[in-house]
Structure 1
Amino acid sequence: MLSTLTSLHLPPLNHTQSPSSQNLTTHLLHSFSSPFELKQLHAHLIKTNTPLTSLPLTQIAFACALNPSFSYAQKIFQHVEKPEITAWNSCLKDFAEGNDPIDAIMLFHQLQCCRVVPDSFTLSFVLKACTRLLDIFTGRVLHGYVEKLGFQSNLFLMNMILNLYALCGVVRDARLMFDKMTQRDIVTWNIMMTLLVKRGDIKGAYDLFSGMPDRSVRSWTLMISGFAQCGKPKEAVRLFLEKEEAGVRANEVTVVAVLTACADLGDLDLGRRIHEYSNQSGFSRNVRICNTLIEMYVKCGCLEDARRVFDAMKERTVVSWSAMISGLAMHGQAEEALRLFSNMIQIGMEPNDVTFVGLLHACSHIGFVNEGRDFFTRMTRDYGVVPIIEHYGCMVDLLSRAGLLQEAHEFIMNMPIKPNGVVWGALLGGCKVHRNIELAEEATRHLSELDPLNDGYYIVLSNIYAEAQRWEDVARVRKLMRDRGVKKTPGWSSITVDGVVHEFVAGDEAHPQAEEIVQMWEKLLERMKLKGYVPNTSVVLLDMEEDQKEKFLNRHSEKLALVFGLIKTKSGTPIRIMKNLRVCEDCHAALKLISEIANREIVVRDRNRFHCFKDGSCSCRDYW
C-alpha cells in the first residue's frame, strides 16, 4: 500500500465496482477525518479504479489543514479540476467562525509558505479571524495582499481592513487608509466615526458626520450617543431633532442615547415624547430602554413615573433594581429604597457594587448611620462585593453629615486604598455643616494636591472661614485661588417651559422678563414674611451690609427660575428646576414656604440630590 501512495496519477477505469464495493467507497468518502484515514481511502480508490474527483475537497482540507500532511492534500488538489484555493477557503471560513479563529490564521500562514495565491474570499475569511482576535500584524499582511493583488476596488474587503484598524485603535493608519480610499459607502464613514467617538475626538467625528453624502440611522445614532457620552447633552438633543426633521426613524439604540441626554439635561418633555414613541414602536420590552427611562425620570424629578416603568417591567436586571434604589435615595425616600433592596434579595437577585452605592447614598441622605455601617459590612461578607472608592466615599459622607467627623477621619486614614478627591471632599462638606475648621484645613491640604483646580473645595473652606468671621483667612484663600488660576464656577439654575430651557445666574438682570420676575418676587416676599420668613443673611459669606446681603439673597438663581416658572406655567403645574450647586439654607427655607403659598410642587435637582417641596415641607426632611 505504501508504494501505491507515492503515485497520485489516475489509473484507467477497467471495470465497474460491485455493489458492496460501492457501498464501502461511499462510506469511506464521507467518514474519514484524519490524514491516515485519507491515505487509506486514497489507496482504496486506486485499487477500485475510482477517480480522485469523487473525493470531497473540503473534507480533505479539514483533515490535513493543521498538520504535516498539508502538502499531501495539495498533491491531491493538483489532480482535480477545481482551484485548490476553493477547498482551503471553505476550511478558512469554518475556522474563522468557529471557537478557535487562530486556526484560520495558522492555515493562512501555511498557505503563504506554500505560495498558494489567495483570492478575495480567502482574505475576507482571514480578516474575520483577525477582527475576532484583534490581530493587527496579520491584518497588515492581508492589507498588503489587497494592494498587491489589486483588490482595492473591493469595498467589502477595504471596510473590513479599516474596521480592524479601528478596533485595534490604530488611528493614524485608519485615517490614512480612509483618506486614500477611492470608494466609500455609509459603512466606511460609520467605521471611522465610531473610532473617533471611542477615542474621545467628538469634534473629528462630527466633522466626518457633517461631510457624509448619505447617512443611515446608525450614523445619526453614533453622533447622538457620542455627544451624550462626552458630556454634551444639548448637542445630542439638537442632533436628534435634526434627525427627526430628516425623516429618519429612531431605533432602540437611538432611543437609549437620546434618553440619556434628556436625563442629563432634565428635559422631561422630550423624555416623555421618546417614551411614547418607544411604546408605539414596540420597544417597551427592551430592558435597556426601560432602565434608561427609569434613570431619565429619576433625574427629571419624576420618581412616580420611574416607579411605574419599573413596576411594569416583565424582566428586570440588577441594573433595573439598582437604578430604582438609587433614584429613591436621591429623592430622600431611604426607607423605600431599603424595602426595595429587601424585595430584590427575596427574589434571588444578586446585588452588585452599584446597588450598594445606592443603598449607602440612601442611608447618607437621611442619616441612617447604623444601617449604612451594616450595609458596608454585609456587601463583602454576604455578597462578595469588594468595596471600591465610591463605597468609601459614601461612608465618609454618611459619617460626616451625621457629625461624626473624627470617625470619618479615622475611616479615611484606615482605608486600604488611597483616598481620592471625592473622599476628602465628603469630609470637607461635613466640616462646613458642623463648622470644624481644623479638619477642614486638613481635608483642603489633601484636596489641593489631588484636585488643585477644583474651585469648589476652595470656596467651601473660604465659606467656613467666613462663617467664623476670619476674614483674613478668607482673603488668603481667595488670593491662593487667583495665584493658581482657579476661577469660581458661577451658580446657575435652569427651568424648561414649553420645550425651551431658560437659564438664570445669581443676580441675573439680562432675562427679557427680569423686571416682571422682580415684581413677582416682591409680592411673594411680602406673603412669606407674613408667615414668619426672615432672610438668612448668614449664608451670604461676603463682608457687606445686611441690606446688601438681603438683596443678594433675593437674586439667587433658583429663586429667579422659580418665579419665572410661576409666571409662565399654569396653576397647579409642578415646577422643576435644575441647579449646578448645592441649594443654600435660605433658598431651601424660602422654597418650602412658596410651595405652600402658591400651592405648587417644586422639584429642585441640585448637585447632590433632589428636593421635593410640597405643602411647606421638603422630601429631604431638612437633612442635606
Structure 2
Amino acid sequence: MSSPGFTAASPTLPQLPSLPPLPSPSQSRFRPTPANYNPPDDQNPDFAQESSTASWTSSIARHCKHGRVSKAVSEFTRMRASGIQPNHITLVTLFSGCAHFPSQGFLLGRALHGYARKLGFDSRNVMVGTAVIDMYSRFGQLGISRLSFDHMEIRNKVTWNTLINGYIRNGEFEEALNLFDEMPERDTVTWTVLIDGFVKKGKFEEALEWFRRMQSSQTSPDFVTIIAALSAVANLGAFGLGLWLHRFVSKQNFRDNIRVNNSLIDMYCRCGCVKFACEVFDEMPKRSLVSWNSIVVGLACNARAEEALSYFYAMKSDRFVPDGVTFTGALTACSHAGLVDKGVEVFETMTRVYKISPTIEHYGCVVDLYARAGKLKEAMTVVETMPMKPNEVVVGSLLAACREYDAADELAEKLIERIFGLDPSGDFCYVLMSNIFAGKGKWRRASNVRKKMKDLGVRKRPGISSIEVDGTIHEFMAGDRSHVEATSVRAMAELLSLDASRFDDSSLHFYELCEFY
C-alpha cells in the first residue's frame, strides 16, 4: 500500500544549481532514427516487435541492474531519438542506477536531473523526486538533496525516510534528527531507518536509546527493527536487553523468521551465552546457511571447539554446503582446541574438495593454529608463503605466541620490520613488541620500540571495561574519573579492598565476600 502524500508548503526557495544537459541525439554516437525504430535486443526477441516506453525502460533497467550505467544512458538517448517519450518509471530506473554505481553515474545523474527538472518530473512526481534525493545523498551531496526535497510539491513518507537515511549515511546525525522531528507522520520504517542508521555507524547506545523511544511512542517494530536492535545489543554485550528482546520476539508473528533467529544466535554467542544460542538454533523450524555459520562461528569464538566442529559436520546432513565463513569458524575451533592436524585437514578440504580460494582470514586462522600450538616456524612459513600481504591481525597472533615461548627471540626480530611496514598508525603490535622485550629484560629494545611509537605519533589506546546494570551499559577506563558515579564506585572498591585484606584467602572466597555485602 502506498504511503499517504503530504502537500508541502511553497516557501521562497533558492534555485537549484545549474546542471549539465544530456547529450543531444546529434551529439551521441547513435544517429537519429525514425519514430518507428525498434531497438535490437538479441536476448529478448519480442523486444523488436514493440517500440514502446515499457520496452525501452526494460532494456534500460537491465543495463542498470548489471552496472552498465553508461550503456543505460546511451539507450535512453536512443529512446529519445526514436521519438519515444520516457515516463517516471524510466527516470526512476536511471536515477537508481546512477545512485548505486556512483563511479559511472555521478556526472550522468546530474545530466539526467537536468532533463527531469526541465519536464517537471523531479518536483511534481513523488517517485522521481525521491529517487533524485537518494541519488545525491549517495553522492554525498546532501545540500542538493535537501534543495530537491524542498522543491518537491508533494512528498510522502518514503521521501522523508530517504532524506533521513541519506543524512545518517553521511554522518549528519543532527540534521537527520531535526528532519525526523519535522516529519508530520512517522511509521515503523521511519524509526527503523533511524535505528539501523545508528547501528551501521557504530553508535550502538544511540540506536538502543531510539529503540526505547520507539517503544514509548507505541509504534510496533517489525523484524527489520528487531534485527537492528539485536545487532546493537550484540556489539554492546547488553545481555539483559537481549533477553528482553528475545521474549518480545517470542510473542510476535515473526518469531520464526530466519533472519531474526540468526540475529538471536549471533547476539547470544557474542554475549557469551552459547547455551541459549544452541537452543534458538535447535528450535528453528527452518535454517539457512547463515544459521549454520552463526552457530559454528559463535561456538568457535567462545572456545567451544568440539561443539562447533559437531555442528560443522552436521550441516552436511542438512544438505547445506559450507562456504568460506563456515570454514573460518571450523579453523577457529581447531585453533582454540589445539587440533593442529584436524585444522590442516579442514583447510585442505576447503581448498581441494570445495574449491574455495583461501582469504587472509583463513590464512590467519592457520597461523594462529600453529602459533597456539607452539609451532612458530610453521606459522612463520605460512606468513611468508601466503599469496597476500599479512595484516596486523595475522602478525599479532604470531607475536602473541612469541611472548609465551622463550625460544622465539629470533622470530620476533624478523617480525619487527614487518610490523613497522603494516600499520604505522596502529598501536597493538608496537605495544606487544615492547612488552615482549620488557618481559625478557631487554629494556633498551623496549625503549626503542616506544621511541619509535612516539616519533610516529602513535599513542596507546586505553582499554575499556563495561558492565550492564538495569539495561544500561557503563564503560570505564583505567584511571577514569569521568563517570557520574565515579566517586561512589571508587569508595566501594576501597571498602571491598580494605575488608578483603582482613580475611585470609584460604578461609573466605571472593564470592562469599560478595554475598556478605
Do the structures match in fold with TM over 0.5? yes
1:182 to 151, 162, 169: 151
Unaligned runs of 5+ in 2: 1-34, 41-50, 99-103
Instruction: Indicate the SS of the match to 1:495.
Output: strand
1:458 and 2:430 aligned: yes
Q: 1:216 to 1:359 in 2, by over 3 A?
A: same
1:147 and 2:147 aligned: no
Range that drifts further, 384-393 or 429-438: 429-438
Q: CA deviation at 1:378?
A: 1.0
Listed as ranges, the matches of 1:239-318 within 5 Å are 239-318=210-289
Q: CA deviation at 1:242?
A: 2.4
Q: 1:342 to 1:91 in 2, by over 3 A?
A: closer
- 1:149 & 1:448 partners in 2: Cα distance? 58
Listed as ranges, the matches of 1:113-192 within 5 Å are 113=81, 118=85, 122-131=86-95, 133-134=97-98, 136=105, 140=110, 142-151=112-121, 152-166=123-137, 169-172=138-141, 175-180=143-148, 181-183=150-152, 184-192=155-163
- 1:177 & 1:262 partners in 2: Cα distance? 32
Q: In structure 2, what is the equivalent of residue 537 of structure 1?
A: none
Q: CA deviation at 1:185?
A: 4.1
Contact 2:427 2:459 in 1 (8 A): yes
Identity of aligned residues (%): 35
Q: CA deviation at 1:92?
A: 5.3
1:519 to 488, 491, 495: 495
Q: 1:154 to 1:131 in 2, by over 3 A?
A: closer
Q: In structure 2, what is the equivalent of residue 22 of structure 1?
A: none
Give the letter for the 2:494 counterpart: V
Q: 1:206 to 1:307 in 2, by over 3 A?
A: farther
Range that drifts further, 237-246 or 338-347: 237-246
- Give deviations 1:302-353, integer Å, cap 9, x for gaps: 1111111111111111211111111211222111111111111222211111
Give the letter for the 1:309 counterpart: V
Q: 1:458 to 1:528 in 2, by over 3 A?
A: farther
Q: In structure 1, what is the equivalent of residue 39 of structure 2?
A: 66
Give the letter for the 2:433 counterpart: L
Give the letter for the 2:90 counterpart: V
- 1:406 & 1:104 partners in 2: Cα distance? 55
Instruction: Indicate the SS of the match to 1:502.
Output: strand
1:439 and 2:411 aligned: yes
Instruction: Indicate the SS of the match to 1:513.
Output: helix
- Give deviations 1:191-220, integer Å, cap 9, x for gaps: 23434555xx22x15523322321433232
Q: In structure 2, what is the equivalent of residue 490 of structure 1?
A: 462
2:442 to 463, 470, 473: 470
- 1:439 & 1:100 partners in 2: Cα distance? 52
Q: CA deviation at 1:97?
A: 7.4
Q: 1:65 to 1:412 in 2, by over 3 A?
A: same
Contact 2:338 2:369 in 1 (8 A): yes
Q: CA deviation at 1:418?
A: 1.7
Unaligned runs of 5+ in 1: 1-61, 68-86, 533-592, 600-624
Q: In structure 2, what is the equivalent of residue 323 of structure 1?
A: 294
1:223 and 2:190 aligned: no
- 2:358 & 2:73 partners in 1: Cα distance? 42
- Give deviations 1:528-579, integer Å, cap 9, x for gaps: 73279xxxxxxxxxxxxxxxxxxxxxxxxxxxxxxxxxxxxxxxxxxxxxxx
Listed as ranges, the matches of 1:400-439 within 5 Å are 400-435=371-406, 436-439=408-411
- Give deviations 1:35-80, integer Å, cap 9, x for gaps: xxxxxxxxxxxxxxxxxxxxxxxxxxx996437xxxxxxxxxxxxx
Q: 1:438 to 1:162 in 2, by over 3 A?
A: same
Q: In structure 1, what is the equivalent of residue 30 of structure 2?
A: none
Q: 1:444 to 1:597 in 2, by over 3 A?
A: farther
- 2:75 & 2:325 partners in 1: Cα distance? 45
Listed as ranges, the matches of 1:50-61 within 5 Å are none
- 2:247 & 2:284 partners in 1: Cα distance? 15
Q: TM-score, normalised by structure 2?
A: 0.78
- Give deviations 1:271-309, integer Å, cap 9, x for gaps: 122222222221122111111111101111111111111
- Give deviations 1:431-487, integer Å, cap 9, x for gaps: 012132332232232122211122221221121122112222222222222222222
Q: CA deviation at 1:527?
A: 5.7
Q: 1:96 to 1:471 in 2, by over 3 A?
A: closer
Contact 1:228 1:261 in 2 (8 A): yes
- 2:480 & 2:168 partners in 1: Cα distance? 37
- 1:109 & 1:507 partners in 2: Cα distance? 66
Q: 1:356 to 1:525 in 2, by over 3 A?
A: farther
Contact 1:428 1:444 in 2 (8 A): no
Give the letter for the 1:125 counterpart: I
Q: 1:507 to 1:66 in 2, by over 3 A?
A: closer
- Give deviations 1:155-188, integer Å, cap 9, x for gaps: 333223333455xx4333x641432432344322
1:207 and 2:175 aligned: yes
Instruction: Indicate the SS of the match to 1:530.
Output: coil
Contact 1:295 1:306 in 2 (8 A): yes
Contact 1:364 1:372 in 2 (8 A): yes
**What's the RMSD between the two structures over aligned residues?**
3.3
Listed as ranges, the matches of 1:558-569 within 5 Å are none
Aligned residues: 452
- 1:363 & 1:356 partners in 2: Cα distance? 10
Q: In structure 1, what is the equivalent of residue 44 of structure 2?
A: none
Q: 1:371 to 1:479 in 2, by over 3 A?
A: same
Contact 1:189 1:208 in 2 (8 A): no
Range that drifts further, 492-501 or 298-307: 492-501
Considering only CA atoms, is the larger Rg found in Structure 1 or Structure 2? 1
Q: 1:326 to 1:525 in 2, by over 3 A?
A: farther
Contact 2:419 2:430 in 1 (8 A): no
- 1:480 & 1:104 partners in 2: Cα distance? 53
Q: 1:352 to 1:596 in 2, by over 3 A?
A: farther
Q: 1:165 to 1:401 in 2, by over 3 A?
A: same
Q: 1:100 to 1:402 in 2, by over 3 A?
A: closer
Contact 1:127 1:139 in 2 (8 A): no
1:363 and 2:343 aligned: no
Q: CA deviation at 1:427?
A: 0.8
- 1:473 & 1:520 partners in 2: Cα distance? 39
- 2:132 & 2:211 partners in 1: Cα distance? 31
Range that drifts further, 315-324 or 243-252: 243-252
